């Protein structure tokens, strides 16, 4: 069996990549919950939850290795929940990652589904209201043209 491990460095963190896992002092794997520090403005940053979705390894055109981690970031704000995919590489300077312990989770992953469900119901209600307004407008317009 062929040894498929490679040592790469991502933003100063050396990792041994073996298929779908990355090992450092911490152990990362696809599907693992992580915390993501997102740098925002000059000296501010916010911590979000995330999930590792994939590991990539390739070589640049000059032959140097390039490792990357794809992360699904869950951003919680006043306006709701937003999901974004970001790729974390050696050249990434606007974010960093670390393992998320169970006691650190601000939003349980099951709670996120409930937030989406509430937002969907809210939008469905807005659609119902717009449909009533449209129907009323069409009724009035039809009566005005007779």
Residue 43 to residues 13, 39, 86, Cα–Cα distance (Å): 22, 8, 21
Task: Band the pLDDT of 1: cuts 50, 70, 90.
Answer: very low
CB 29 within 8 A of CB 21: yes
Residue 133 to residues 125, 128, 143, 144, Cα–Cα distance (Å): 12, 9, 15, 16
pTM of the model: 0.59
pLDDT value at position 48? 87
Q: Can you tell me the distance from the alpha carbon of 97 to that of 47, in angstroms, rounded to the nearest whole number?
A: 9
Q: For 114-134, how does the pLDDT look when each residue is reduced to its tens digit (9 = 90+)?
A: 878 888 999 999 999 999 999
Q: How many CB atoms lie within 10 A of CB 11?
A: 14
Beta-strand runs (E) in 1-106: 5-10, 13-18, 21-23, 27-29, 33-39, 45-59, 65-77, 80-89, 95-99
pLDDT value at position 16? 74
Listed in sequence order, the residues at least 6 apart from 93 whose beta carbon sits closer than 8 Å to its beta carbon are 11, 39
CB 94 within 8 A of CB 39: yes
Q: For 41-69, how does the pLDDT look when each residue is reduced to its tens digit (9 = 90+)?
A: 877 888 888 889 999 887 778 888 888 89
Q: For 80-114, how does the pLDDT look when each residue is reduced to its tens digit (9 = 90+)?
A: 778 889 998 888 888 888 888 777 766 666 677 78
């Amino acid at each position: 069996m062929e040894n498929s491990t490679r040592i790469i460095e991502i933003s100063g963190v050396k990792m041994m990549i073996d298929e779908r896992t990355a090992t450092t002092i911490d152990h990362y794997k696809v599907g693992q919950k992580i915390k993501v520090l997102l740098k925002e403005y000059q000296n501010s940053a916010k911590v979000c939850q995330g999930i590792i979705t994939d590991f990539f390894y390739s070589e640049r055109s000059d032959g140097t290795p390039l490792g990357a981690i794809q992360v699904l970031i869950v951003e919680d704000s006043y306006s709701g929940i937003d999901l974004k995919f970001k790729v974390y590489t050696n050249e990434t300077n606007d974010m960093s990652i670390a393992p998320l312990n169970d006691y650190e989770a601000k939003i349980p992953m099951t709670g996120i589904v409930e937030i989406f469900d509430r937002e969907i119901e809210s939008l469905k209600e807005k659609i119902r209201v717009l449909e009533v307004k449209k129907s009323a407008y069409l009724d009035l317009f039809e009566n005005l043209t007779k």
